[in-house]
Amino acid sequence: MSIHTASRKEEYLQHRFGQRALIPFECFRAGDRYLFCSGAYDGKVNLYSAQRMELLMCYQIAALGMNKHVNAVRFTSDGARILASTTARRLAVIDVERGEQVMSYDNSSFSGTDRAGLAADPVCPNMAVCSCVNGKGLTLFDLRMPLPLDFVYDLHPNIVRDITFVHNSWPFVRSQQSAILSLSTDGVCKVTTLDGRYLHCFEVDHVANSIAPTPENYRTGAEDEFHSLMMVGGDVISGYIPEVGIQERLREHGDLPVWKLRYTSNGGILYTACDGGIVRKYRRYPNHHSYLGEVYSHKADIQDLDLSPYDEFLITASNDRSVGILKLGAPNHGWTEYCELT
């Protein structure tokens, strides 16, 4: 694995953790500074500590002889459970503390081997949504119930690649407690209520794989002030503002498609991961993003990327069977083991 230096020297570590299977999907635990999980093509969900750089636990969620691939993982907003969807069209619910699968929903999730859409409600820890069986709609879950809560079929004409929840401060969501933002591979983004009612739609006119709204509550202002926006990554990275439309397009990755976008917690830095295994970063300004350079690279394509809640660590999952962990620096608030005396 090669290391690319950005504007400052950054500490980078790569770990294989003894894994033989591909590890293309991962995420940090909500509210936890160091704990994250990954899903692999061997039907296992692995739990790691970013601080200690070690594998803590391994959960087997697919029985032998079944189609085992895990195509998405998420923690619930309270951090108590891991959600994992598989190519066997099953959504598994794992209790983190007990280390066992407590529930599963059959015939409810998409069976594609690429990354599937899966999101947990940041407000209610019992609500979740994933791509439905045909990949073009949504399946909603109340994790207190033994069966899926609802199905929204054929919401998109093409496969849903990414799903996230939208804060109710956004202008097209304000009458609702929360809303779901789904992105299809043809670049169509739709915002719907939990019961499937249409709220908003926009298109970016290119193949798309990931969407990242800016993390702050929605705001708009004068031309020289920050506007909240949604960044959509695929063949191009496009920035969308509701009152303006497409504000900018970023093309530093060339012909390599972008698979994941992630903002830091204050929205000041945008990280991207694309084919070719390269992580890049941009600084956000009021009316544009400025390219800062390459951060590091894997030997193979990067399928997923996430940031720890306090912006201390960046993690990547690659087809080279490795998990990348980048120490970004001290936490943005709270205690730290580092100090400097002057």
pLDDT per residue as tens digits for the range 134-177: 999 999 999 999 999 999 999 999 999 999 999 999 999 877 77
Residue-level pLDDT at 292 = 96
Q: What is the pLDDT of residues 23-48, one digit of tens each?
A: 556 788 877 788 999 887 788 898 99
Residue-level pLDDT at 110 = 94
- 35-38, long-range: CB < 8 A, 24+ apart: 35/79, 36/306, 36/308, 36/315, 37/73, 37/75, 37/82, 38/73, 38/317, 38/323
Q: Find out whether 47 and 57 touch, Cβ atoms under 8 Å.
A: yes
Lowest mean pLDDT among 76-90, 221-235, 301-315: 221-235
Given a cut of 60, is residue 13 above it in pLDDT? no
Residue-level pLDDT at 12 = 47
Q: What is the pLDDT of residues 248-259, one digit of tens each?
A: 999 999 999 999
Please, which pLDDT band fits residue 6 given cuts at 50, 70 and 90? Answer: very low
Given a cut of 70, is residue 224 above it in pLDDT? no
Given a cut of 80, is residue 246 above it in pLDDT? yes
Please, which pLDDT band fits residue 66 given cuts at 50, 70 and 90? Answer: low
Q: 54-70: b or e for each residue (b if 16 or more CB lie within 10 Å)?
A: ebeeebebbeeeeebbb
**How open is the CA angle 56-60-64, to the nearest 5 degrees?**
150
Lowest mean pLDDT among 76-85, 151-160, 324-333: 324-333
Please, which pLDDT band fits residue 337 given cuts at 50, 70 and 90? Answer: low
Given a cut of 90, is residue 262 above it in pLDDT? yes
CA gap 210, 185 in Å, rounded: 9
pLDDT above 90 as % of the chain:
57
Residue-level pLDDT at 22 = 53
Please, which pLDDT band fits residue 83 given cuts at 50, 70 and 90? Answer: very high
- pTM of this structure: 0.89
